[in-house]
Amino acid sequence: MAYIATLSKTKEILEEFGLKAKKKYGQNFLIDANIVSKIAKYACDKDTISVEIGPGIGSLSEFLALNSAYVYAHEIDESLLPLLDKTLEKYDNIEIIPGDFLNVDFEKMPYFDKEIVVCANLPYYITTAILFHIITSKLKIKRIVIMVQKEVGDRFKAKPCTKDYNALSIILQSRFDIKPVTNVSRHLFYPAPKVDSIVISFERKKEPLYIDEKLVKTAFNMRRKTLYNNLKESYPQDVITALYKELGLKDDVRAEALDLNTFAKMSEVLKDVV
Ligand code: SAM
């Protein structure tokens, strides 16, 4: 079977539709069927409802269709829609949803009330925004398997007191077990990006730690400010002062010094405070 994910097929398809990879949408297409198959097999099984962000010309979508029960794929680039109709025509278990994934109202999506696996070769320019969008949604996410720039991948597991420890890494670590799946050389893409990539898996924890999004976002709002000065913009000062006393926090502590458990304790108190 001739898969989409080869260099010759990718060039042939783009030429047939008179298209070029668009930088503004972060288009770098996977051209190695082995790696694509590995990602899809890791992410899903025959019962999985998969949600893909950015099917491109269908390289990963094809393997998601082969390995899942059903695939919903969100593509922003309208010029790819007729192309995807053709490249994925033999799969009857995939639906392309046109539009910007960042503007999707999940409650209106056909997969909203189902358990899903999110799988994507993410456009690098919006990796963080996309991750925030899905993890702070009400979606029932079992697992996220995404390809990101190698150095971005290392940041998700950042520990306190490091520069990469931030609102996103804290929320991710509190809700998911994070594991590298495989490194992917830049040469397995067309066109080749300037950096290598890594596939990371986020497996929903059986017992996630509750950490309030508003709290962590506020805590890291201005990194150079103390935690207190950031929090006082959004929470009553008497509540913060009482919390500092209860948790034994120093007045000049910064958000990056607090571990996940401390954020969880603060969340319990602050979650209902407006
Ligand atoms: N999945 C394909 C593959 O692995 O070869 C393409 C991956 S390419 C790195 C990223 C894809 O995401 C492109 O198809 C691009 O048009 C799409 N994309 C970029 N921004 C998007 C957005 N905001 N919403 C939906 N799709 C987006």
* Cα 164 to middle of ligand 1, angstroms: 25
* Cα 97 to middle of ligand 1, angstroms: 12
Ligand 1 contact via 72 beta carbon (within 6 Å): no
Tell me, yes or no, if the two domains 7-204 and 213-273 fold the same way. Answer: no
CA angle 266, 144, 92 (to 5 degrees): 145
Residue nearest to atom 14 of ligand 1 (CA): 56
Residue nearest to atom 5 of ligand 1 (CA): 29
> So what's the pLDDT on residue 94?
98
First to last CA, the chain: 58
> So what's the pLDDT on residue 263?
97
Helix axis angle for 59-67 and 33-43, nearest 10°, is 40
Ligand 1 contact via 58 beta carbon (within 6 Å): no
**CATH 3.40.50.150 is right for the domain spanning 7-204:** yes
Residue nearest to atom 3 of ligand 1 (CA): 29
Domain 213-273: CATH architecture, name and number where available: Orthogonal Bundle (1.10)
> So what's the pLDDT on residue 178?
97
Alpha carbon separation from 225 to 159, 214, 230, 231, 244 (Å, rounded): 19, 17, 7, 10, 16
Ordered by start, the domain boundaries in the chain are 7-204, 213-273
The sign of the CA dihedral 50, 157, 209, 108 is negative
Residue nearest to atom 11 of ligand 1 (CA): 54
Ligand 1 contact via 62 beta carbon (within 6 Å): no
Per-residue pLDDT tens listing for the chain (274 residues): 789 999 999 999 999 999 999 999 999 999 999 999 999 999 999 999 999 999 999 999 999 999 999 999 999 999 999 999 999 999 999 999 999 999 999 999 999 999 999 999 998 889 999 999 999 899 999 999 999 999 888 889 999 999 999 999 999 999 999 999 999 999 999 999 999 999 999 999 999 999 999 999 999 999 899 999 999 999 999 999 999 999 999 999 999 999 999 999 999 999 887 6
> So what's the pLDDT on residue 262?
97
Residue nearest to atom 22 of ligand 1 (CA): 100
